[in-house]
Amino acid sequence: MVKVYEVLNAQPQVQPTAVKQQTAVSKLAQQMAADDATPKPPTGEQVYLAYVMKQKMQKQADLTYAQRMRQQAANAQSQVR
Per-residue pLDDT of the chain (81 residues; tens, 9 = 90+): 556 556 556 666 656 787 888 888 899 999 888 888 888 888 999 999 999 999 999 999 999 999 999 999 999 999 987
- The pLDDT score that the predictor gives to residue 4 is 58
- Kindly provide the residue ranges of all beta strands, DSSP E only, lying in the chain, ordered along the sequence: none
- The pLDDT score that the predictor gives to residue 47 is 95
CB 53 within 8 A of CB 45: no
- The pLDDT score that the predictor gives to residue 20 is 85
DSSP state, residue 43: P
Tell me the C-alpha distance between 81 and 70, whole Å.
Answer: 17
